[in-house]
Amino acid sequence: MNRPGKEALDALLERRGQVLGAMAQALWDLWPNGRGLVDALRSAQQQLLAAAQAVRARPTRAAAAASLATAEGALNATVARVLNQIESDAALHANDAVATQMLALFEFGPQLIERRLRFNQACRAYNDAIAQFPTSLLAPVFRFETAGSL
């Protein structure tokens, strides 16, 4: 599979994880009543990292890609809950540290869409390549698997 597609997405997930970690730390200190939600955010991020590690190890495994997509969905839902709480709390919303992390987080949306598209294009190219003759004859021998998309 095309390594740049996977590596570009992987690097972006890593950077977003750093922003989420900084946001979680800022919220932990500022929002004692919201620590359960901050813990949920950290847990969802850890699940995403574990799923990303599985894709890193075997980028052509469809199950690993599906797991990453599921973890991404769970993280996005948790982030949305956190952001809704921040929006409804004037003190949190006005805090510079939280606002800085929110702005950084919003910048990842378009980049993630573009990187996910590149990853999926690399998966399609790989799948097309292993379906072509003579690779299709060798695919079972070398255990080439159909790659899953995100």
Q: Which domains does the chain have, with CATH numbers?
A: 3-142 (1.20.120)
pLDDT in tens, 75-97: 999 999 999 999 999 999 899 99
The CA distance from 73 to 44, in Å, is 9
DSSP, res 38? H
Residue with tokens 């590596």: 7
| Token digits of residue 98 | 């939280």
Tokens coding 83: 């952001």
> Could you give the percent of the chain with pLDDT greater than 90?
52
In this prediction, residue 122 carries a pLDDT of 86
Residue 61, sorted as left (phi over 0), alpha (psi -120 to 50) or beta, turns out to be beta
Give the angle subtended at the CA of 81 by the CAs of 79 and 86, to the nearest 5°: 90
Q: Give me the count of residues in the chain.
A: 150
Q: What's the pTM value of the predicted model, to 2 decimals?
A: 0.80
Does the pLDDT value for residue 2 go beyond 50?
no
> What phi, psi does 46 have (nearest 5°)?
-65, -40
pLDDT, one tens digit per residue, over 49-59 is 999 999 888 87
143: left (phi over 0), alpha (psi -120 to 50) or beta: left
Tens digit of pLDDT for each residue in 13-42?
Answer: 889 999 999 999 999 999 999 999 999 999
Grade residue 7 by pLDDT with cuts at 50, 70 and 90: low
